[in-house]
Structure 1
């Protein structure tokens, strides 16, 4: 078996699958004012096509799967997809990133299907501010969904929070308290530049170091190891069940340890979240699939993986439509 190793010696064992580019929210840092041109349903990969690719990828060392979107729970067949991936023996871990609005409705079905872990995007604990950030969301739906997931005993639940100055930086200690009260790990993420976030971006950006300083002033943070696939650096709050993490794609790149590749909902393999290059595998999956051809395309995508991302605020920004389709 030929293992997926890129030209910089990084072993690729983690696949993120965006199952849709549709979303039931319109977050201020994600959806542009002009809207997003969504892929038509016929252009999206079917369950059969996704599973066919996962089997090929798993035969070459992919062991961890993260299902993303858009909002993955908008796909009616999402639980069936989870179940099919779970049946692939060499896949050791399957998780999902969701905005949490529909978790209460689908949590039980997803748990039965074999989903092990949940990452829930939540940028405010204030209902009015949450509505302002998401446009269509109701905070209570996410919080009741988290409660339901905890009741069902998912092996791990994490909350992802993008911190933006003058919007939710003042809530950072509220999120730390939320972690100490629930035992759920909260991960603070640096605000990333996209074509929808350029106005005043520099004034809105908060580095992971500043976030950590604010948290450490109120709590004595202790470094901790937390199971998972992500690049977060974790800390525990002594005397509590609280755990917080910091993800710093701008201030402190973690590219040297990157072990992932991404599959978009319309069949593109993307080797880096911030690249403008991809390998189209949809046609190969739809005509058979031809396993040898799909394998060749997979290795071609790995070969194109850059040493590090080129996310530079001054002259290059992540394309928002790609961000929606790649799944962050």
Structure 2
């Protein structure tokens, strides 16, 4: 979230639940099998449970997940599980309550941790913790996050800090995967590599004997663009075929102009075929840091 926030969009600019379901059916018919609801904060959507149930009932959709800050998650966990949500990601950049309050500008650490523990008790698998690592902020905590996996069946994912509008990215604060791994191996020399799936975005590891595991999303230092099979649909209905690309196609406007499903599928196909080879066509992380794009809160990830 940019320090000065982002302008709230009028409700009429956002996709309605029937519009989301329609697009999900079209994408499922084209081979999409997994959907993740992100944000912003998806739990702020009043009909999230109904939306999740609708998505889970679409033929071809095998999994529906949610990425959340966890603040209000605990009281909604059972309803989300009953609606068919089977994958949870909780964003948590620190295990220290005072540091949590500093970066989020609010109290709530205890509620987030309670949500994680309750989700674990309810059997959510996988249950992932997303941690964006920055030098001088939380690099000193990555050993603690790995230690957390000893007794908790969670997948901690250390995410390289990526440049987006208003997040003040700089290479002095950026920490590459190789440096994080070196720190962890010094503390946990027995760490082992786990097998990654064909389209996984995370390099997975674990410490033998620990219940959970950890991994790295290395978008900046070792990008995985060649195997990326993700599409993003923003809350206002724009299709982004690349997280880092600034090219968007409005599927909302297409639907509201009353075009038929086949034409919408054609729009998606053309957009996918125009996807740049890597990093949205920006060359490297320094070129990416100068590019214009939405703030991450308006993209979802």
TM-score (norm 2): 0.93
The CA deviation at 1:103 is: 1.0
CA 1:229 to 1:316, structure 2 compared with 1: closer, same or farther past 3 Å?
closer
Among 109, 112, 122, the residue aligned to 1:139: 109
**What are the ranges of 5 or more consecutive residues in structure 1 without an aligned counterpart?**
1-30
- Paired with 1:133 and 1:229, the residues of 2 have a C-alpha distance of 31
Superposition deviation, residue 221 in structure 1: 1.1
Residue of 244, 247, 263 corresponding to 1:274: 244
Q: Does 1:83 align with 2:53?
A: yes
Matched, 1:119 2:89: yes
Q: Does 1:176 align with 2:146?
A: yes
Give the SS at the match of 2:232: strand
Question: Who is 1:108 aligned against?
Answer: 78
User: How is 1:290-309 mapped onto 2 (pairs within 5 angstroms)?
Assistant: 290-309=260-279
Match of 2:44 among 74, 83, 88: 74
Task: Find the counterpart in structure 1 of residue 183 from structure 2.
Answer: 214
For the 8 Å contact 1:32–1:320, the answer to whether it is kept is no
1:182-212 Cα deviation digits (max 9, x unpaired): 121101011112332336x222111111111
- Please give the residue correspondences for 1:20-39 in structure 2 after superposition, counting only pairs within 5 Å: 31-39=1-9
Mapping of 1:52-71 within 5 angstroms? 52-71=22-41
Q: Distance in 1 between matches of 2:202 and 2:121?
A: 26
SS of the equivalent of 1:251 reads coil
1:202 aligned onto 2:175: no
Any unmatched runs of 5+ in structure 2? Answer: none
Deviation of the 1:152 alpha carbon: 1.5
Tell me, yes or no, if structure 1 residue 327 matches structure 2 residue 300: yes
Aligned to 2:225: 255
Residue 99 of structure 2, aligned match among 129, 133, 136: 129
Alpha-carbon distance, 1:99 to partner = 0.9
1:244 matched to 2:210? The reply is: no
Higher relative contact order (CA 8 A, sep 6+): 1
1:228-239 alignment runs, 5 A limit: 230-239=200-209
1:80-114 superposed Cα distances (whole Å, 9 cap, x missing partner): 11100111121111111111111102111100000
| Count of residues paired in the alignment | 297
How far is 1:227 from its partner?
6.6
Out of 146, 156, 168, which is 1:186 matched to?
Answer: 156
Contact 1:101/1:137 (8 A) holds in 2: no
Q: After the TM superposition, which of the residue ranges 151-160 and 162-171 deviates more from structure 2?
A: 151-160
**CA gap 1:108/1:226 in 2 versus in 1, 3 angstroms:** farther
What's the Cα RMSD here?
1.8
